[in-house]
């Protein structure tokens, strides 16, 4: 059995494994795909002290750093069920999709999240070539250009306000008859003169030219009319889904499916901690996930010294 078992190998899980292993305790990390969302990212410009890197390069660096320590990396292993310890300080069990199971005195859940996609033609093809999901990450790449934000919930409207300060023009497209964001955000958005708001709009296709996004087609759901908007970027903001389906019923989740953690990364189960995009911690970013993973490992260590087996 491990003293610390990390589930998930993104920035949160890598940081947790490194911090745990540096305490000299037996550490394992099981991940469906080591690297997580970073593996799907092009340029990264906001990892402090690293002015520019690329996803695959950062994944290789994370793996190399984890390998500096005695960490048992179990890649391509999907966790399917968490069976909490019968009593505090006992062994938790994690069942894997391959039929095996792992036991550990503490578990750190860092299974991350995935952006909900529109599922329209062109979206996948032009991902990272104009189709983006993270305004904090990719907004500056569209300086002075025209972009659309898909989604009029809080994250879409926040993204549109944020982008309006950087890009030339923002078209916000909301599927429903009205935006769902908080009034104060909607008011702020309407006060901006380089933003156009389209409601009852269903995006039907992302169009490209020369390997880059050149526009977007949408249907006006009230009239059925088809429209085309010329632009250089599309920010999809229709939801970030935490990879926590497998934990439902076993651990406390928020209404959005995020693992509820306190400021010490403790979950509703003693000895089970969580970190990163899978949790209720706001602002889903690499640097934040790394910090949260480190905190979770330190909390796990603290738990172990207080609940050590005789
Ligand atoms: P993830 O990176 O999501 O890692 C989750 C890990 O858990 C993966 O290893 C996954 O395979 C594994 N996993 C999931 N389910 C299971 C399971 N059941 N069993 C076992 N393993 C499982 N952030 C920035 O700071 N800067 C950027 O420039 C930036 N650009 C981005 C661009 C894109 C296209 C995307 C999608 C995200 C971007 N982000 C960026 C956000 C950033 O990638 C995330 O905030 C960060 O990766 C979250 O780290 P994490 O470790 O919590 O989760």
Closest CA to 119 of 222, 32, 228, 202: 202
DSSP character at residue 292: H
Cα(293)–Cα(275) distance, rounded to whole angstroms?
5
Cα(255)–Cα(161) distance, rounded to whole angstroms?
26
Chain centroid offset of residue 227 CA: 32
Nearest CA to ligand 1 atom 16: 111
Query: Using an 8 Å Cβ cutoff, are 265 and 274 in contact?
Result: yes
Atom index in ligand 1 nearest the CA of residue 38 equals 43
Pairing status of strand 131-132 against strand 272-274:
unpaired
Cα(278)–Cα(284) distance, rounded to whole angstroms?
9
| Distance from Cα 194 to the centre of ligand 1, integer Å | 32
One digit per residue, pLDDT tens: the chain, 310 residues? 999 999 999 999 999 999 999 999 999 999 999 999 999 888 899 999 999 999 999 999 999 999 999 999 999 999 999 999 999 999 999 999 999 999 999 999 999 999 999 999 999 999 999 999 999 999 999 999 999 999 999 999 999 999 999 999 999 999 999 999 999 999 999 999 999 999 999 999 999 999 999 999 999 999 999 999 999 999 999 999 999 999 999 999 999 999 999 999 999 999 999 999 999 999 999 999 999 999 999 999 999 999 976 4
| Mutate-to-test residue for ligand 1 from 9, 35, 41, 94, highest number of ligand atoms within 8 A of CB | 41
| Distance from Cα 243 to the centre of ligand 1, integer Å | 10
38 lines ligand 1 (CB under 6 A): yes
31 lines ligand 1 (CB under 6 A): yes
155 lines ligand 1 (CB under 6 A): no
Q: How many Cα atoms sit within 13 Å of 78 on the Cβ side? A: 7
């Amino acid at each position: 059995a491990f003293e610390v078992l990390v589930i998930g190998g993104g920035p949160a899980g890598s940081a947790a494994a490194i911090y745990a292993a540096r305490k000299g305790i037996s550490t394992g990390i099981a991940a469906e795909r080591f690297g997580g969302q970073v593996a799907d990212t092009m340029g990264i410009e906001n990892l402090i002290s690293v002015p520019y890197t690329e996803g695959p390069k950062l994944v290789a660096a994370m793996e190399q750093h984890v390998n500096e320590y005695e960490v048992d990396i179990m890649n391509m292993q999907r966790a399917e069920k968490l069976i909490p310890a019968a009593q505090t300080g006992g062994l938790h069990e994690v069942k894997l999709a391959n039929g095996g199971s792992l036991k550990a005195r503490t578990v750190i859940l860092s299974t991350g999240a995935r952006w909900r996609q529109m599922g329209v033609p062109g979206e996948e093809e032009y991902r990272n070539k104009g189709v983006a999901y993270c305004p904090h990450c990719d907004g500056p790449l569209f300086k002075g250009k025209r972009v659309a934000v898909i989604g009029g919930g809080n994250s879409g409207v926040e993204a549109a306000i944020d982008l309006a300060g950087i890009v030339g023009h923002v078209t916000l497209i909301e599927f429903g008859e009205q935006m769902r964001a908080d009034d104060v955000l909607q008011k702020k958005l309407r006060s901006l003169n380089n933003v156009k708001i389209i409601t009852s709009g269903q995006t039907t296709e992302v169009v490209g030219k020369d390997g880059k996004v050149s526009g977007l087609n949408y249907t006006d759901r009230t009239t059925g009319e088809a429209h085309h908007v010329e632009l250089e970027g599309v920010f999809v903001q229709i939801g970030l889904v935490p990879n926590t389906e497998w934990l439902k019923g076993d651990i406390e989740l928020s209404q959005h499916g995020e693992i509820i953690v306190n400021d010490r990364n403790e979950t509703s189960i003693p000895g089970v901690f969580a970190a990163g995009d899978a949790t209720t911690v706001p602002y889903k970013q690499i640097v934040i996930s790394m910090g949260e993973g480190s905190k979770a490992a330190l909390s796990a260590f603290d738990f172990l010294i207080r609940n050590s087996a005789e």
